[in-house]
Amino acid sequence: MPDHEPHQDAAGDESVDGRARLFTALRRPGGRGQLVAGVLLAALGFAAVTQVRSNNRDDDYVGARQGDLIQYINTLSLASRRAETEIAELQRTRESLGNDTEARRTALILARQQADTLGILAGTVPAVGPGIRVTVTGGSSVGSDQLLNGLQELRDAGAEVIELNGQVRVVAQTSLQDAPDGTVADGTLLEPPYVIEAIGDPHDLAVALGFAGGFTSDVEDAGGKVEVSERDKVDIASVRKPKPPVYAEPDSNG
């Protein structure tokens, strides 16, 4: 008995000494370094696990079943067909807009051309083109009768624009009256010499005035003289203000 008790005390002392040595080791600088190293290793392990899980999510298709892959393909095909349909609709819309724009552009061009044509015929816009200049001199008896005859012959020969003395634009409603000092055209007094400028085919217009018994003959019979010159360019600047019709109106059924 006396020999056994000292042995138990020695074992207890060794256990106490081991724990003390562990705490002492942890408190030493080297022990703290080991603790830090352990924390770092734990963090590294967590990061590795996270990366593996991320890779597993990116590679979902690799381990997918055949049925799942078929479903994925069908979904992608459906999305592709939907996109193609939308693209086709956008292309048709673009073509439609292009056609509408072209149609509007063409209609606008035609409308402007028609407005220019009507403006020339109505005398509301200036005009330029080939034609003739007719100068009537001498003869106090030359007046409205001779001038009206000349204007009619020019119209019959295809004159598109006519002007008298650079002042009066001749249109369908133009009227001429004799006056003591000359001729009144649409309220404007024109004094001789009379100058008639007309746009049209120069040769046809000149020939029309030279027929026997026509304008030139009438002026010469009245004691006057006619000089006709063909020109490549005739500028007519005089215009008329359009007057609204009093009785006529567009026929919507026409």
pLDDT digit string, tens, across residues 166-199: 999 999 889 999 999 999 999 999 999 999 999 9
Residue 17: its pLDDT value, please? Answer: 59
Determine the Cα–Cα distance for residues 197 and 235; give it in Å rounded to an integer.
Answer: 9
Q: What was the pLDDT predicted at 107?
A: 80
What's the confidence (pLDDT) of residue 8? 47
Distance in angstroms (rounded) separating the CA atoms of residues 214 and 96: 59
Longest CA pairwise span in the chain (Å)? 181
C-alpha to C-alpha distances, 120 to 71, 123, 175, nearest whole angstrom: 73, 5, 19
Domain boundaries, the chain: 4-47, 65-122, 128-236
Residues in the chain predicted with pLDDT less than 70, given as ranges, are 1-66, 68-69, 72, 254
DSSP strand pairing (194-199 vs 161-164): antiparallel
pLDDT in the model for residue 187: 93
According to CATH, the topology of domain 128-236 is Alpha-Beta Plaits (3.30.70)
The predicted structure's pLDDT at residue 104: 82
Number of H helices, E strands in the chain: 6, 8
- Specify the pLDDT at position 235: 97
Q: pTM for the whole thing?
A: 0.59
Residue labelled with tokens 């106090």: 140
DSSP 28: S
